[in-house]
Structure 1
Amino acid sequence: MEFKNRWLRFVYSQRLAFNIFRSEPWLDVVRHFRELSGPVNVLWPSENEIADIETVVRMANDVAADLAEVRARFYVTGATIMSDGRKSRDARPIVNFLQVVGGSRGVFDDFPSRRVNAICTDSASTYVAATNMLQGPEQRPEDRRITWLPCAVHVCNKMLSDIRCLSSWSKDIIVRGRVVVRFIKDHGATLHIFRRESTQMGLIYPCETSFASVFAMMERLLAMRSAERTVDDDSCGPWDHSVRQLARWVWWQVRHGPWWDSMSILVHIMEPVYDMLRRLDRGGLHMSRVVQWTQDVTREVAQEVRTLPADSAHFIVKKVQARCAHMLEPAHAAAHHLCSSRRDLRYYEGVVNDCDASLVREVEVYILLQIGFNVANPEYETACAQLGDFHIRRGGIASGGRDGDREAQRCTGDVETYEARCWWSKWGQCTPQLQVIALRVMYMRTCSFPEERNWVVHKGVQTK
């Protein structure tokens, strides 16, 4: 029976056509196993049994039972629905998120909205309109509670694109780099000489779907500068007339010091944003760190652009600040504020600066969204009071004592969000309203990067 169940699950999960099991080649396989001598005989399910609807329903129920433990967590933490937009070559949207939202009621009936903590999409142009549709007064309260988040990876790519579009200076650096890489990779003689000098790494040609690959191209060019200088115009032999002029240009370009210096400056400006992309690619469950990362990116980019003219530096800083503001939602502020390692009196006592006061207001907006859209609601007032007690360490929220403080210190680095979830699971029972909100927000995904990556791999648009 165990063999039959495993076999049926394999057939259904791989979406095999039922008529395969009526074909002569398959019947030959069945006869072969039937004629084998031995103590154990393989009894394959018949075609009628495989195609029987009762068998399909029974296997579906078995799979649902196996997933019951996983689904049980969604009642507490919720699940993030991730979607990846599509655009045609002329930038027309292929997936209309507004139409998707219009049909979301059926999705929420199959997967109850109380189990959804957020919807994360990279459709920056329509996600705001979709949010307004989902949170309209005609929608059910449980649907209005769902947060729409912009994909953090997509926003970072937009930041890199903004820096690239700074001026003809940055565009020229990138275009020249693409030409050099393409020439070396497309011509066997130059590629052979290059690989002879560099056996560990190769050049990267950027793909058109992710601007982060342009940074990777320039970073690799700088790392392999000495190997590229070995590409000699004479050692490659006589060039065909059609590429002779381009070959001489590439030979001159890789020895042109000012171009390398300019590329180094551009890479240093982009590097803080690319570092954030690297961090986001480590699982996507980093809600409590996004606010701090955006602050770090803005500060580091502002430091790196000091070498540029004042107007260009101002343009880049303003663009980065605008993208960071677009990335952040009240849910990010709530995750940042509810991390136990960030408890601080400065948010509620003494002179509160504008930045901290704004952060607290964003958290209260998110609490209002989760509680019921009414500031006079006693549950909302209780949750806000518990938030203050959490930072002041007053009342029931301080029941963890020294043990709670010691475990709160673990909420740093790459495990910050994970440890924060553990802290709230263990020490948050005395403040049930705030605990529910904290656990749901800590389990949100910050980006829909897995979907974007799957699409890039599927379409094969990245050339290496």
Structure 2
Amino acid sequence: MFVKSVDASSYVKSGPKLFELLDNFVEEIGEKNVVQVVTDNGSNYVLAGKLLQAKREHLFWTPCAAHCLDLMLEDIEKIERVTKSIQRGIKLVGFIYNHTLALNTMRKYTSKTELVMGPLVRVLRLVDNEKRPAMEYIYEAMDRAKEAIQKSFNGNEDKYKDIFAIIDRRWDCQLHHPLHAAGHYLNPECFYANPQIDNYAELISGLYKCIDKLSVNDEEVDKIHGQLEKYRRAKGLFGMNAAVRQRNKSAPTLWWKSYGAQVPELRNIAVRVLGLTCSASRCECNWSTFEHIHSKKRSRLEHQRLQDLVFIKYNQGLKERFESRDLIDPIVLNDIDESNEWLVGEVDEGAENEFVFDDDNLTWGEVANVTGANEPITFTRQHTRFRKEAASIPSSSRGIRVEEGDNKEIEDEEEEQIYKLNTSEESEGGEEDLEEMFNDDSD
């Protein structure tokens, strides 16, 4: 949920300043209501997070899991053999997705399985969705991703050891966190499926750290440790047939609310941990909302007015997505880039000169030219817009070449004229018109 924003245009975004802003916000919300603060992995945010944890003993700072996974994938891409495979894959996928016959044939024989969906990409998609919190699944998801990578190389360690080194380095220094460990341990689906789970020291350590930090006092800590035994041995309500059946059917938070009445303190910890998100990427959606409202033609809005409009717009969309969460796909269509290299099939020029086979002089560029992979995509909105613009130009003017920079200058001049016209109106009337337009958009 979007609560508020801060006009930081006059601030130097240093670690201490970010800490001050975050600390003030925690104070406003109430420390007892905050379990974790999630930011990206910039050095200034890392410092701010550590300072916040030092002052606020009962909350965690965690780096954004989506950002960590993105950095992990970028590091893997830098491996030479992986880079070549990606470049070839871009050509292949671009050709298939841009030719209807090839795409339909592929979907027919693959049961409509999409091509671009590797193990780590699946984990990224998991932590970046809005359907349900991913805190209880990220630990297991990372383990399964590594198993899938290992299996894809038929257990040949020489082929995947560099990839595992990158994953482990990012996991150990950024992603591995007590909250992730506690979420895995308190997830009944994962816990009861692994009889040896109590032998993993890092899981137990993470769980105990969360209990210590989220408990009110030592007395509550001791009580929770005693209640853990019922959970481990599936005693009381945890051992009911319904509770056993619902371990892998019900959401973990709902499972604890339904069957944790006999261990209220442990249940409260479990619900607070399992209901957390792992990613801050959803907050970045606010940026596009701000940009939509605060354009060059509407740059006179005061910060408070702008914040109120974003509050309504974003939270209204959040409510709609929540109500239809079982009907939508977690991929946000607005975030799809039409020029995405995997869809367009375009790679760096150097890749086209690489040989398809080591013992032949056939290059990937020659293959692309023969198969038509280099043909332009004819059904994107961008290409359609260009065709419409070209059709609207008088025939006598079509021979005149207009540079992109000239078009940009013309657009800027038009927007400047509109801006000057708007500034001549009264401020209150302009804001009322904006509200009316905004309400129309939301309808």
Structure-2 residue corresponding to 1:293: 141
Q: Which amino acid aligns with 2:140?
A: Q
Provide the secondary structure at the position in 1 that maps to 2:136. Answer: helix
Residue 151 of structure 1: how far off its partner (Å): 1.3
Q: Mark the runs of 5 or more structure 2 residues left unpaired by the alignment.
A: 103-114, 293-334, 340-443
Cα deviation code 1:199-228 (max 9, x no counterpart) = xxxxxxxxxxxxxxxx8x567326348789
CA change 1:441–1:307 in 2 (3 A) is closer
Residue 80 of structure 1: how far off its partner (Å): 11
**Runs (4+) off by over 6 Å:** 79-83, 225-229
What are the residue-to-residue correspondences of 1:217-256 with 2, within 5 Å?
220-221=93-94, 223-224=96-97
Structure-2 residue corresponding to 1:117: 35
* Residues 101 and 130, structure 1, Cα contact 8 Å, conserved in 2: yes
Q: Which amino acid aligns with 1:155?
A: C
Structure-1 residue corresponding to 2:229: 388
Residue 381 of structure 1: how far off its partner (Å): 2.0
Q: Which amino acid aligns with 2:208?
A: E
For the pair shown, which has the larger CA radius of gyration, 1 or 2?
1
What are the residue-to-residue correspondences of 1:152-301 with 2, within 5 Å?
152-167=65-80, 169-171=81-83, 220-221=93-94, 223-224=96-97, 271-283=118-130, 285-301=133-149
CA change 1:360–1:388 in 2 (3 A) is farther
CA change 1:426–1:378 in 2 (3 A) is same
Structure-1 residue corresponding to 2:278: 446
Q: Which amino acid aligns with 2:255?
A: W
CA change 1:340–1:80 in 2 (3 A) is farther
Cα deviation code 1:221-254 (max 9, x no counterpart) = 263487899xxxxxxxxxxxxxxxxxxxxxxxxx
Q: Does 1:405 align with 2:244?
A: yes
CA distance in 2, matches of 1:228, 1:82: 49
CA distance in 1, matches of 2:178, 2:52: 16
Structure-2 residue corresponding to 1:335: 183
CA distance in 2, matches of 1:452, 1:354: 38
Length-normalised TM-score, structure 1 = 0.51
Structure-1 residue corresponding to 2:51: 133
Q: Which amino acid aligns with 1:323?
A: R
* Residues 23 and 52, structure 2, Cα contact 8 Å, conserved in 1: no
Cα deviation code 1:123-149 (max 9, x no counterpart) = 25345433331232xx2xxx3211112
CA change 1:221–1:430 in 2 (3 A) is same
CA distance in 2, matches of 1:429, 1:344: 19
CA distance in 1, matches of 2:4, 2:76: 27
CA distance in 2, matches of 1:362, 1:301: 26
Provide the secondary structure at the position in 1 that maps to 2:35. Answer: strand
CA change 1:126–1:368 in 2 (3 A) is farther
Percent identity for Structure 1 against Structure 2: 20
Residue 324 of structure 1: how far off its partner (Å): 2.8
Cα deviation code 1:30-81 (max 9, x no counterpart) = xxxxxxxxxxxxxxxxxxxxxxxxxxxxxxxxxxxxxxxxxxxxxxxxx899
Structure-2 residue corresponding to 1:144: 57
CA change 1:309–1:286 in 2 (3 A) is closer
CA distance in 2, matches of 1:449, 1:82: 16
CA distance in 1, matches of 2:84, 2:189: 45
Residue 306 of structure 1: how far off its partner (Å): 5.8
What are the residue-to-residue correspondences of 1:316-327 with 2, within 5 Å?
316-325=163-172, 326-327=174-175
Q: Which amino acid aligns with 2:228?
A: L
Provide the secondary structure at the position in 2 that maps to 1:285. Answer: coil
* Residues 80 and 118, structure 1, Cα contact 8 Å, conserved in 2: no
Q: Does 1:363 align with 2:220?
A: no
Length-normalised TM-score, structure 2 = 0.53
* Residues 344 and 392, structure 1, Cα contact 8 Å, conserved in 2: no
CA change 1:94–1:135 in 2 (3 A) is same
Provide the secondary structure at the position in 2 that maps to 1:287. Answer: coil
